[in-house]
Structure 1
Amino acid sequence: MSSFADREGVAADLVVETDDGLQCTACAHRCTLSPGQAGICDVRRNVDGELRLLTYGQVFDRPTGPPGTADPIEKKPLYHFHPTTRVLSFGGVSCNFACEFCQNNHISFAGPEDLELRDVSPEEAVESAATQDCAGVAWTYNEPTIYAEYVRDGARLAKEAGRYTAIVTNGYFTEEFVEEVGPYLDAANVDVKGFRDRPHVKHMGAKLQPTLDGAKLADEAGIHVELTYLTIPDLNDDAEEIREFAEWARDKLNPSVPVHFTRFHPDHEMRDRPATPVETLERAAAIARDEGLEFVYVGNMSGHEDNATRCPDCGAVWIRRHGFRASVAVDLDGACACGRPIDVVV
């Protein structure tokens, strides 16, 4: 067990005192905690009147070798952000959601004492990115909002070292989170898990609106945002629901926000549904384009033609992808042959 497990964690900064206890302000649950009580996330606890992050510097990782996992940035998925580069990825335990279909349930449904964790300081994380020739650092696999202070400290050091930073998130964070962590974040993939509040609460354990608010907050803070919509048969794949999601993305973010309709595979407690038919994903993509979204992708479908980035004006291919491999077909610092600026961060 990690040595951090024998301590009471690191003092958390995202907190306010109330008459009823300490209110955590990292995520939109805004748990108010009495002494000894932990939040929904199970990693932020009131310890003798001080909010502590129990898993600061604790990651789920192999025990030896350089820490972190070097991933293609396309795996996050981030398609319009430093394509073809590698990003060093870190994740921990627990979550502030309880998704019945979670593919990372072995860590997201685990508590700090349930798994062998590895101590990795923010400094060590950034050093490992250099060792493994990664252009950036990402916090992913489980929800990074719940260990906000660790993300902030690592992201600040990564940017000082000339590396980009990213999170993969359910978006269930607060204005306070964006104020504290946002200045050090370059990109976020926000997972919108449907567009109906009732099933969102039933199957994910959280309301929908805070995720939508979080995506908008990140976008307004100048963080590059891409959206993932895990398309689950007979749960969130209704054409009207897809249309409303697309309208929201177009109007509340912008028509150029990249949107990934990804394929569901049965997992965890949701094994009663089939994998998403490719026709359903293609229909969702067509609806989103019909609503004016310019960059729409079909995810978890290696080799599908809708994994390529094309110019919305002339159709020219800018980036080709097969699985997590990408090849750039144009000068991303320039403009398309038709004159349109290329909407990709490099």
Structure 2
Amino acid sequence: MTQTAPLKKWQEKGYPARLQEDLGDGIVRCHLSPRNCRIRPGQHGFCMVRANRDGKLVSLNYGRSVHATEETIETEAVFHYEPGARILSMGNIGCMLNCDYCHNWKTSQARFVEDKDVFYYTPEEVVDIAKRHGIKVISWTYNDPVVWHEFVVESAKLAQEAGIVNLYKSAFFISPEAIEELIPVIDIFSISIKSMDPKYYRKITKGWIEPVLDGAELVYRAGRHVEVSTLMVTDLSDDEKTARAMASFVGERLGAEVPTHFVRFHPDYKMTNTIRTPVERLEKARRIALEMGLQNVYLGNVYDTDSTNTYCHGCGDLLVTRYGLNANVLGVSADGHCVKCSADANMRRIADVPKASVVDALPAGADLDIATFDWYGDIRALHVQVRNDSSQLDRVYHRRNRPGTRGGSWGVINLRPGESYRFIAAKSTLDEVGVAVAVPRTCTSSLHQVFDRAHFPTLEVDAGTLNADVTPLPLYVNPRAKD
């Protein structure tokens, strides 16, 4: 489609794109995704963030991002790589798919992207943020890192050189050529298989399933850590057929040890006239996959269930407990084995992971604003965004609140002058009622409630939600809908 509206700020500058084929007459072909878009001068590919400018393929989203956010590795449906690890989540603009239920539609669909939601980073800045905050994993995530290819490859290489692990959370609708460029720099692939039904794939995601399955097998055979997940959409894919098809694929083309996640759906984007996936359907899918021989099967976006825990296949001992997006390692050795019976837990660990800073009490006499947020409905996670507006180092504090007490230690986040930072606080125990955040008056801060795994953009808490158990704001409005 030819660009006719005025360019937004984030669209103005293009960055030389990889995987270009020159077709002559100024026409180029993009070999990033299986679409192999043929793009004339002045036009864009399907993703709307790769364009032909003066006969050259360019990326319009290089360094353009949603806010860098500290989360946990469980956010990315990764349970067998350093459970509980803090990660730096980096997401971008655009997507090679257009799923009807997309949780990140406001950024994945480029036409909806507003300049106010776009942040700018260099590869060096991303790595520096992770290093300064003691984070050992960078996750390329949210809408989808496939269309951020140049920035991901270049940044991941720098991260690798700094001893930082790279995680790639993706729907993996990507070409073999692009995968070959990722394999040397990506350590973990968390692959979201939207469905095992080819017709569903084309109708709901606007892509096709075959390259996704082929790509998952390619990175698994390359020896990379792979985990797979599928979103169990209510009354569409939350059935026994999906469970059996997923288990067959993992068992036959990957390996029985590959962690497999059945993920609870929440209505969003164009699919709001429905309900969240009934948990009993997810539990049934898990039982089926285990009966078919898979070793590590979990539920996602679900609380208060043992189906998120990891047990030893040798002695049955409890190895890792999980509650929401939090994990507690009980019985896994540094080399990924059960400490009780030495059986291989198929779990990779990261050596010398820095612990988050904590203090027993707030500093006496500190000039702090304290805000509290209580969990309600299905809102059990919160993004906290803070910016140090002063000319000196400042500290932000956060803590969990439980019934009958407001005590306990405070987590500490150090912010250098001018730094803007975002981090997640997710419900960590059954009895936890909410969180408290203490912010210096020299900082600007805001709280943003989050459904399930994080999504972008989010609105400030004061904006509320349409329905606490169904869908977060902003609410998609079909431009073709009539009053």
TM class, shorter-length: over 0.9
Residue pairs, 1:115-264, within 5 angstroms: 115-116=115-116, 117-264=118-265
> How many angstroms does 1:177 deviate by?
0.9
Of 341, 344, 353 in structure 2, the residue corresponding to residue 341 of structure 1 is 344
**1:43 paired to 2:38:** no
Tell me, in whole angstroms, the C-alpha distance in 2 between the residues paired with 1:5 and 1:33.
17
How far the C-alpha of 1:286 sits from its partner, in A, is 0.7
RMSD: 1.7
The question of whether the paired residues in 2 share the 8 Å contact of 1:231 and 1:276 is answered with yes
Contact 1:2 1:58 in 2 (8 A): no
**What residue in structure 2 maps to residue 14 of structure 1?**
19
Give 1:18-37 correspondences, 5 Å limit: 18=23, 21-37=27-43
Distance (whole Å) between structure 2 residues aligned to residue 44 and residue 203 of structure 1? 23
* SS of residue in 1 equivalent to 2:258: coil
Q: How many pairs were matched up? A: 339
Structure 2 equivalent of residue 90 of structure 1: 90
- Which letter maps to 1:93? I
Task: Please say if residues 12 and 60 of structure 2, whose CA atoms lie closer than 8 Å, have aligned partners that are also in contact.
Answer: no
Once the two structures are TM-superposed, the CA of residue 112 in structure 1 deviates from its matched residue by 8.5
Query: Aligned partners of 1:290, 1:17: CA distance in 2, in Å?
Result: 51
Amino acid at match of 2:88: L
Does structure 1 residue 329 correspond to structure 2 residue 344? Answer: no
SS at match of 2:328: strand
Q: Structure 2: how far apart are the matches of 1:112 and 1:134?
A: 31
Range that drifts further, 231-240 or 273-282: 231-240
Between structure 1 and structure 2, the one with the greater Rg is 2
Give per-residue Cα distances to partners, 1:249-290, cap 9 Å, x unaligned.
Answer: 111110011011011111111112211111100010011111
The 1-side partners of 2:153 and 2:84 are apart by 25
Equivalent in the alignment of 2:354: none
Distance 1:31 1:217 in 2: 23
Q: One-letter code of the match for 1:96?
A: M
Which is bigger in relative contact order (C-alpha 8 A, separation at least 6)? Answer: 1
Aligned counterparts of 1:155 and 1:112: Cα–Cα separation in 2: 28
5+ unaligned residues in a row in structure 2: which ranges?
Answer: 1-6, 350-483
Aligned partner letter, 1:239: E
Q: Does 2:109 match 1:103?
A: no
Q: Is the 8 A contact 1:43 1:112 kept in 2?
A: no
Give distance in 2, aligned partners of 1:118 and 1:41: 19
3-state DSSP of counterpart to 2:124: helix
For residues 57 and 133 of structure 1, what CA distance do their matches in structure 2 show?
A: 22
The CA distance in 1 between the partners of 2:329 and 2:139, in whole Å, is 22
**Offset at residue 24 of structure 1 (A):** 1.1
Q: Which secondary structure state, in structure 2, belongs to the residue aligned with residue 184 of structure 1?
A: coil
CA contact (8 A) 1:3 1:119 kept: no
Structure 1 distance, partners of 2:76, 2:170, is: 10
* TM-score, scaled to structure 1: 0.93
Q: CA deviation at 1:292?
A: 0.8
Deviation at 1:213, TM superposition (A): 1.3
- Secondary structure of the 2:139 match is strand
Taking only the aligned residue pairs, the percentage that are identical comes to 34
AA matched with 2:85: T
Judge conservation of contact 1:2–1:118 (CA < 8 Å) in 2. Answer: no
Determine helix, strand or coil for the equivalent of 1:171: coil
User: 1:65 maps to which residue?
Assistant: none
CA contact (8 A) 1:70 1:132 kept: no
Q: Contact 1:22–1:33 (CA<8 Å) still a contact in 2? A: yes
Q: Which has the higher helix share?
A: 1
Q: For residues 111 and 149 of structure 1, what CA distance do their matches in structure 2 show? A: 21
